[in-house]
Amino acid sequence: MKKTLLLLFLVFTTLGFAQQQNVTYSVSPETFGENEEITITVSNLDVSTWGVSDAYLWAWSLDADGENSQDSPTNGSWTNSNEDQKLTANGDGTYSFVLTPSSFFNRTNIGQIGMLIKAKNGDGDKKTQDYIFNVGTFQFNLNSPTETTTVLNSGDNLSIEATSSINATFVLKANNVIVDTQTAITAYSYTYTIAENTNFSLEVTNDTETKLATFNAVVSPTVEEAPVPAGMLDGINLDPLDATKVTLVLYAPLKDFVHVIGDFNNWQINNNYLMKKDSATDRFWIELTGLTPQTNHMYQYLVNFEINVADPYSTLVLDPYSDQYIDEVTYPNLPAYPTNLTTEAVTILRTGDADYNWQTTNFVAPDKTDLVVYEVLLRDFDALHSFEALENRLDYIQKLGINAIELMPVSEFDGNESWGYNPSFHMALDKYYGTKDAFKSLIDECHSRGIAVILDVVYNHASGQNPYFRLWNDSNGGLGGKVTADNPFFNDEAKHSYSVFNDYNHQSTATQEYVKRTAQYWIEEYNLDGFRWDLTKGFTQNCTANDESCTNAYQQDRVDVLKQYADDQWEVNDDFYIIFEHLGGITEEEQWADYRVAEGKGILLWNKQTEAYNEALMGYNTGGKSNFSGVSYAQKGFKQASAVSFMESHDEERLLYKSLNFGNEEGNYSTKNLNTALARLQTAGAFFFTVPGPKMIWQFGELGYDISIEENGRVGNKPILWEYANNPNRKAVYNSWSKIINLKKKAEVFSTTNFTVDASNASGLKRIHLTLESATTDQIKHIVVLGNFGMSAQSITADFQEIGTWYNLLEKNTPLEVTTTATDLNLEAGEFVIYADKPFVDPNDLDSDGVANADDACPNTPIGTTVDVTGCSLFTLPVTNYQIATVSETCKDANNGKIAITTTENLNYTVSITGPSGFSSTEDFTTEFSLENLNAGTYTVCFTIDGETGYEQCFTVLISEPEDLSVSSKINTSDKSASLTLKGADVYFVTINGVTYETTENNINLNLQPGMNRISAETGIDCQGKFTEEVFVSEEVRFFPNPVQAELKVYCAGKDLNVTYTLYDFTGRQLESNTKEVDANREISIATSALKKGKYVVTVKGKTIRKTFKIIK
């Protein structure tokens, strides 16, 4: 006799973004055997929300015991469904699929089939909920009760009703005792009086098969009414005098009773752990005793016997979905999740642990107007993705000059590898980055180096794992569904137009208390120095999800509540940095910027300048482009330095990626060239850091990170490229920015309020002027920053503030005599200079010769003198004395490269040249020299001069060889186009259908004609090879009706007079093939009346037509 378990509820939830759809499934016939053909129909499905037009079946089957799950053999992969499982769109908003279970799943003894509907690429939760159909003509449904657990008062009656598809015997057991038996019926009904907690089973049997449903009824407990003890806060309250005790408090209005379940009661419902209720405050509470100190106790709240949630104020949770992927290195001795004892997130409770021993107790945070912030996503910063790994990288960050690190969210969020803007537990540390002590150690070490730590916090919304969402939603505590109207924390409909997940109601007192409690915890527990508040535009109750103009307009409720939250933070730390990501209008932002500014406070606002700096970097300056004067807080409209300006952030495309792919080109100068773009990035830094006010950079921006934000999906993992630091041109950006940041932090002039940013000139010439009126005689009073963001060398009028001696601060204070303030200076494309009216004296290098005081044998060399490693002056020639030209090989392995040298000064030179494969040559000359027949590769060219001991000047040059021609093609038959990406040459010859085009572009688009297209590409150099490809483009083909009856019509666009069709059955056997004349309506007819019911494949071919499609009879 077979036994199968009836699954009462098939509710599955997801942790991803809200792309999952809940649809309606039906099957015809309603009862069926494994060898019967069935039609599955899906309604309420909108595939357009997934950005696709087709839907696919993802299916699996279980055996008669509900076990041994196997996927459909033709599922394909999650990211690429098999076309055989594409659903048919029925034209009425429904989709259908026909299958016979035994042949479809290639197995017998099937008890259940499960399924979901998905996009062809299901990534990003582009799927529906799961559903299960029972297989077999004998079916059974439990109609009442409708819930697995029913809560009743003692003495109440429980109505039990069920139906079967054929006559059967029904046996009802209560706590394993038979209480009722009814035979030869299809409709069962029984009433049971509840006196105690009761587990029921209803067994239904026909001649050969038994099905079983289980459910239970529990007696509502009597809850003791008692006020919450004084001083107890929501969440965990440790007893400072007794580590075996703790008091738990849960805010849960409209709930009747709450049990605590955990390791201390074997996760069983026990009225000894029934929480007391304080109705006046809508809180439940309990004092736990007998706990073992320094032990990982685990617990949840079981609310109304229905919903089990972790504590909303957990500081550490276990997650059954993601913890298994956290390694021992990142989080040593991570407690194991109590599998099979409970479900969903679990709170870890520890008592008696020693406090962290802070080593840095006298840290003074940098003034907020002087901040240089480094934004970090731990996941993409170091392969170990941990607090400890970041601590080990602090030398690199400190040498750059950073005085604040801003961490993207580290509070508990769904999954592991995330940006963190999907928070679930706002007070818990996410374990994927490490332990609490590791986080504290990082902060401690940062403080010892003078670096503040700012945390990105997300209080606009919470994910489906959040306990306060689960306690009041329409999925009965599931992770999905919607907020119900009685939820005291969340809006049932979002009140702004940028909503994701579940939208907090910040006018709710419950939400305000939750935000205050959790925010203050992070400040007190971790000694943090500031918060960056994500998406503050969402903190209003005045708008709707569809009204973007309202969301972006001034909202007084939003102004007020965010000021309140600022007060909450300053209540704990008087100097706490508060930064809003608002990106809104000045009228609203200045309300926060000016708030309590007279007390030395005031809120900082993110100031995005990405587009303008990107245009400058790429060399696009006309039409108002590249005007980054908005980097100035004064230009923004603030009265003080309240704007945290940035060129890049986690949310913006990387500057170097844009330049390398979309940069400007003029003659031989191209901002698509890596080294050119990196040089210009140094210039961008000069016009960024020198502007007074706080600044922020995104991780690896100082090395010219050039991987697109869209690589692997916008929020997906990005390559961690520490090898960039070994590239001299990339490291030159780091070094240049480091020098400028050092100037910014140490020279008071960069904090002046008297400055101008001239960045609007269409030529790309830009200037910054700063004046410190209060400068002493030893301080720099005036600064001039000049830069050429144009595409060629230009002359710029410096407009020095005064005549006299000025000093190039980044070139060892090299002096410049200025006889007129309107002095013109020549700047190469991408070049910049920073001049000051006084030298910037580094205390570690008092004569500014680049040799540290401790190593300087000549400590008083005049400014601008070239010195040796001991700091003493030496013979030198300008680098421009040497002109070195190279000629590359004409073909691979031609070995006909050349180096030609010319010098300006006529002297007795010795040149030593070394290169690949041990090549070495030494020759004497006076003004000209050349060396021919060289292999491709890198050569070092070094010059010495007779009589000048110790002098040597070296250069590195490259002799290249042509690459093999590389061509990749992308064919788009829908719009009849081909896109070629070409590499390996400067000029390409592309031929399509006999017509040849000459191009210097690396990307070319071609129009395809109906029929066969022949494409080729070459460079004109035979040794580089040739690319060829043939592409067939079909005219449009449509077919109808489907399913078919007597005749199938096929519409054939284009001009073909005749087409050939071939009909196959689903095993691939050819049934017929004919050539037909296309009629005046561009149609042919195929007789199908003789076909049996089933699925068939049709191919249609002509000179300009090729199409294969499936039909159903």
pLDDT level of residue 13 (50, 70, 90 thresholds): very low
794-797 and 824-827 beta bridge pairing: antiparallel
More confident residue, 443 or 852: 443
Rounded Cα gap, residues 190 and 182, in angstroms? 10
CATH code of the domain made up of 235-351: 2.60.40.10
Low-confidence winner among 420-429, 785-794, 835-844 (lowest mean pLDDT)? 835-844
Query: Rounded to two decimals, what is the model's pTM?
Result: 0.69
**Are the beta carbons of 164 and 175 closer than 8 angstroms?**
no
pLDDT at residue 10 above 80?
Answer: no
pLDDT level of residue 262 (50, 70, 90 thresholds): very high
Low-confidence winner among 57-61, 385-389, 972-976 (lowest mean pLDDT)? 972-976
Rounded Cα gap, residues 289 and 238, in angstroms? 11
Share of the chain above pLDDT 90, in %: 77
Structure confidence at residue 11 (pLDDT)? 30
Beta-carbon count within 10 A of 776 CB = 9
**Are the beta carbons of 631 and 644 closer than 8 angstroms?**
no
Structure confidence at residue 1021 (pLDDT)? 84
Taking CB atoms within 8 Å and a gap of at least 24, the contacts of 709-713 are: 709/651, 709/652, 709/653, 709/654, 709/657, 710/653, 713/123, 713/124
Structure confidence at residue 1 (pLDDT)? 29
CA angle 50, 53, 59 (to 5 degrees): 75
Share of the chain above pLDDT 70, in %: 98
Residue closest to 683 by CA, chosen among 598, 789, 807, 760? 789
Q: DSSP readout, 49-85?
A: GGT-S--EEEEEEEETTS---EE-TT-EETTEE-GGG
Structure confidence at residue 19 (pLDDT)? 57
For the chain, the domains span: 20-134, 140-219, 235-351, 372-581, 604-836, 882-959, 966-1033, 1037-1112
Assign domain 372-581 one CATH number from 3.40.605.10, 3.30.460.80, 3.20.20.80, 3.30.420.40.
Answer: 3.20.20.80
317-318 and 283-288 beta bridge pairing: unpaired
**Are the beta carbons of 1015 and 1031 closer than 8 angstroms?**
yes
363-416 pLDDT per residue, tens: 999 999 999 999 999 999 999 999 999 999 999 999 999 999 999 999 999 999
Q: What is the mean pLDDT of the chain?
A: 92
Residue 755 pairs with which residues in a beta bridge? 770
**Are the beta carbons of 200 and 160 closer than 8 angstroms?**
yes
115-140 pLDDT per residue, tens: 999 999 987 778 998 888 888 878 88
Rounded Cα gap, residues 226 and 283, in angstroms? 10
Structure confidence at residue 9 (pLDDT)? 30
1044-1055 pLDDT per residue, tens: 999 999 999 999
φ, ψ of residue 844 to 5 degrees: the values are -90, -5
Residue closest to 647 by CA, chosen among 619, 673, 686? 686
Rounded Cα gap, residues 431 and 437, in angstroms? 12
**Are the beta carbons of 521 and 457 closer than 8 angstroms?**
no
623-650 pLDDT per residue, tens: 999 999 999 999 999 999 999 999 999 9
CATH 2.40.160.10 fits 882-959, yes or no: no
Residue with tokens 């016009």: 687
Adjacency order of strands within the sheet including 1037-1040: 1037-1040, 1047-1052, 1083-1087
Residue closest to 360 by CA, chosen among 441, 256, 263? 441
More confident residue, 225 or 778: 225
Helix (H, G, I), strand (E, B) or coil at 86: strand
Rounded Cα gap, residues 665 and 120, in angstroms? 40
Which residues does 701 contact at the CB level (< 8 Å), separation at least 6? 647, 648, 654, 655
**Are the beta carbons of 468 and 514 closer than 8 angstroms?**
yes
Residue with tokens 């939003």: 558
147-203 pLDDT per residue, tens: 888 999 999 999 999 998 889 999 999 999 999 999 999 999 999 999 998 999 999
Output the CA–CA distances (angstroms, integers) from residue 517 to 253, 310, 454, 959, in the order listed.
18, 17, 18, 65
Structure confidence at residue 18 (pLDDT)? 39
Helix (H, G, I), strand (E, B) or coil at 469: helix
pLDDT at residue 92 above 80?
Answer: yes
Rounded Cα gap, residues 702 and 681, in angstroms? 9
Q: Assign domain 140-219 to its CATH superfamily.
A: Immunoglobulins (2.60.40.10)
pLDDT level of residue 865 (50, 70, 90 thresholds): low
Rounded Cα gap, residues 1113 and 1109, in angstroms? 13
Fill in the amino acid letter for 282: D
**Are the beta carbons of 559 and 591 closer than 8 angstroms?**
yes
Assign domain 20-134 one CATH number from 3.40.50.2000, 2.60.40.1930, 3.20.20.70, 3.10.290.10.
Answer: 2.60.40.1930
CA 359 from centroid of its chain's CA atoms: 34
276-334 pLDDT per residue, tens: 999 999 999 999 999 999 999 999 999 999 899 999 999 999 999 899 999 999 999 99
Low-confidence winner among 51-55, 657-661, 889-893 (lowest mean pLDDT)? 889-893
Which residues does 722 contact at the CB level (< 8 Å), separation at least 6? none
Tokens linked to 211 = 């099905």
Output the CA–CA distances (angstroms, integers) from residue 60 to 21, 68, 525, 590, 819, in the order listed.
19, 10, 48, 58, 85
Rounded Cα gap, residues 387 and 440, in angstroms? 9
Residue closest to 32 by CA, chosen among 40, 41, 43? 40
CATH 2.60.40.2550 fits 1037-1112, yes or no: yes
Q: What integer is the mean pLDDT of 205-230?
A: 92
H helical segments located in 536-630: 548-552, 556-572, 586-593, 610-618
More confident residue, 560 or 893: 560
**Are the beta carbons of 631 and 619 closer than 8 angstroms?**
no
Structure confidence at residue 864 (pLDDT)? 60
**Are the beta carbons of 108 and 102 closer than 8 angstroms?**
yes
Q: DSSP readout, 847-894?
A: T-SSS-GGG-SSTTPPTT--B-TTS-B-----GGGEEEEEE--SSTT-
pLDDT level of residue 17 (50, 70, 90 thresholds): very low
Which H or E run contains 442? helix 436-448
Fill in the amino acid letter for 245: K
Tokens linked to 505 = 């109601």
Which residues does 333 contact at the CB level (< 8 Å), separation at least 6? none
**Are the beta carbons of 899 and 938 closer than 8 angstroms?**
no
What is the 8-class DSSP label of residue 906? -
pLDDT level of residue 4 (50, 70, 90 thresholds): very low
Residue closest to 144 by CA, chosen among 161, 132, 131? 161
Rounded Cα gap, residues 285 and 469, in angstroms? 20
Residue with tokens 């010495």: 944
Structure confidence at residue 14 (pLDDT)? 31
Tokens linked to 910 = 């010795």
Q: Is 476 left (phi over 0), alpha (psi -120 to 50) or beta?
A: left
Q: What integer is the mean pLDDT of 337-364?
A: 96
Q: CA-based diameter of the chain, in Å?
A: 118
What is the 8-class DSSP label of residue 991? E
Does residue 1043 have a cis peptide bond before it, meaning omega lies within 30 degrees of 0? yes
CA 100 from centroid of its chain's CA atoms: 42
Rounded Cα gap, residues 679 and 669, in angstroms? 12
**Are the beta carbons of 733 and 697 closer than 8 angstroms?**
no
Structure confidence at residue 84 (pLDDT)? 95
Structure confidence at residue 962 (pLDDT)? 78
Q: Decide: residue 409, CB within 10 A, 0-12 exposed, 13-18 middle, 19+ buried.
A: buried
Rounded Cα gap, residues 398 and 342, in angstroms? 46
38-43 and 95-99 beta bridge pairing: antiparallel
Q: Decide: residue 9, CB within 10 A, 0-12 exposed, 13-18 middle, 19+ buried.
A: exposed
pLDDT at residue 754 above 60?
Answer: yes
1062-1111 pLDDT per residue, tens: 999 888 889 999 999 999 999 999 999 989 999 999 999 999 999 999 99
What is the 8-class DSSP label of residue 430? P
Assign domain 966-1033 one CATH number from 2.60.40, 2.70.98, 1.10.10, 3.30.450.
Answer: 2.60.40
Domain pair 882-959 / 966-1033, same fold: yes
Determine the length of the chain.
Answer: 1113
466-476 pLDDT per residue, tens: 999 999 999 88
Assign domain 604-836 one CATH number from 3.50.50.60, 1.10.10.10, 2.60.40.1180, 3.30.70.2190.
Answer: 2.60.40.1180
Within 13 A of 539's CA, how many CA atoms are on the CB side? 25
pLDDT at residue 985 above 80?
Answer: yes
User: If you count DSSP H runs as helices and E runs as strands, how many of each does the chain have, helices first?
Assistant: 15, 69
Residue closest to 387 by CA, chosen among 447, 434, 437? 434
pLDDT at residue 866 above 80?
Answer: no
Name the CA dihedral angle for 914, 920, 924, 926, rounded to a multiple of 10 degrees. -30
φ, ψ of residue 823 to 5 degrees: the values are -60, 135
pLDDT at residue 1011 above 80?
Answer: yes
